[in-house]
Amino acid sequence: MRTVTIEEITKKFSLEVLSGHDQLHRVLKKTKVRRPGLEFMDKFDFIATEHVQILGKNEINYLHTLSTEESKLRIGNIVQYAPPCIIITSRQEEPLGLIQYCTEEKIPVLRTPDSTSELSAKLDAYVIKAMASEIAIHGVCINVAGMGILLRGKSGVGKSETAHTLIGRGHRLVADDIVVLKKLSPQTLLGTYDEKNKEFLALRSVGLLNVVRLYGRAAFQEETRIALDIELTEWKKNELNNELEMETKFVEYMDVKIPHLKIQLQPGRDIAGLIEAAANNWYLKQQGYSAAEEFMKRIESEFEGN
């Protein structure tokens, strides 16, 4: 798992550093931020530790209703759980005693003009992606009609050329040649680019293309959730090519199962069109409709009628 430092999130979200300038090297260990609730009370052993703590308007207003000594006591209850940092939202004034406690315990105190809900959503999303396990695979990642698709196959089989055709039909390139896969959850795989190949598409006999410069921003997408894994393979004469495929096949990346299918190549076949059809067909399956199941029902109905 990759690590994220306080300095990184400070720069990413333009946070103001109120104290702990020399502690920004501290590392986040948890991906979710927390707002103190029970942490304001007496010590509870079961409370999750090492989360970024956010003090919003409700928390700051509560602390301001307390006496100086009581406020310091409640702040001490937060600090004892060793948060990597404390962030004050909505550009509020820090409560009395916070800077003192955090300086003693070497905990950075940061501030933002964003509301608590805004910062929580942005910070959670960023940290989850940044700390996600990842691998790099050889292939092409493209977003077809809102659906993330991995194109795989042997070198020279035509993955990049197929992606170029799909871009011409209004779909979006995510990554060519090297695809970075990030595991966001046991069911979610995110596809994105390697920094070196961002916006680039390599075509044999033509060379390297910058799809944004050639076709505009709409031709490129930063990342996409992977919904389908499609392998482009050589045509095999004696292989059954019109099977109904009632059962979905899968491949696994970092233990995340992704629906998989193969498309055989042959001169004259509209591979880009087949990929569009596969994407649309998979979308219908997600909505509960299966053309294969409907076909089998019709066959069974006709058989029963005879």
C-alpha torsion sign, points 276, 282, 287, 293? positive
| Rounded distance between C-alpha atoms, residue 54 and residue 110, angstroms | 9
Angle (CA) 145-183-127 rounded to 5° is 100
CA distances from 264 to 145, 165, 175 (A): 22, 17, 22
Residue carrying the six token digits 């409560």: 95
Nearest to 92 by CA among 13, 16, 38, 14: 16
Q: Helices 57-64 and 68-79: crossing angle, nearest 10°?
A: 140
Active site residue 237: no
Active site residue 177: yes
Active site residue 171: no
Query: Which residue out of 29, 30, 177, 260 is catalytically annotated?
Result: 177
Which residues lie below 8 Å from residue 113, measured CB to CB, with a gap of 6+?
A: 90, 91
Query: Which residue out of 57, 138, 154, 236 is catalytically annotated?
Result: 138
Active site residues: 138, 159, 177
